Structure 1
């Protein structure tokens, strides 16, 4: 590998971040595997069907509805793992207003109306509302991804330096630093 140390260091950082994100789901995996194994060992096939909803409710109808919504939960987890990172990139680049407009547009102009139509007109109820909100999040993720991908990051460095120079002045003799707060 060229620059093997850099590549391995970068991979290590990415895998650490991925590991942090996975801790919760791996905890659920461990708990589910023990429960399913115990139920199968007892000969109870019906109880082996892991239903996470029963952690929160004893109501069979609610648990069934949670099972029906689980695919949307999976998509939500995926999108909500990517979208905040892209928002953070944009905010770090100083595009807070762009992120705000993208958020407002995607949720209030796209997500909520699509959710209302799917939930009420197409009678999908809460599933339709959630699908609409996920659609808004998907559009938001795509927009932020395109913005991040098409950004000239070298130009952003120049813009950031200009902002810093506008708000602070470093004396050439290194005696003092004067900022706009002084």
Structure 2
């Protein structure tokens, strides 16, 4: 997936009525000017929750929404992140790397995407700082195995339903 145009990323423009009146021919009409807000690529958390679900986001679009350099102020306020039901195709390590600046995040829902586990990167996940993440939902993703997966020790609940996993390793018991 190549570079994205700004139009593909930005939300539709907001419209509002200001009550300005213009003469058009013989009729008095009300114009509805367009209010163009400053473009924001960052997702904005509301009450600690950043809901990007059902947005048809690709990996590149998600990376822009969660860019550490552009969005540092917002990322530090996210308690819950919902990126479910998108078109995110990436390995779990890359996903965790996106979450690294989210120091207080307790819950991540990444269900119904195209997440995988890259065996070569699995060992690095063992060294990933645990932060405060308690809940991880990665159901409905094409994950095949947990044999090499290490998760942050802080995780209390993980949803792996509707994946391609046929066995749960003993270290998960």
TM-score by length of 1: 0.23
Instruction: Identify the structure with the greater helix proportion.
Output: 1
* Structure of higher CA gyration radius: 1
Structure that is richer in strand per residue:
2
Q: Normalised by the size of structure 2, how large is the TM-score?
A: 0.24
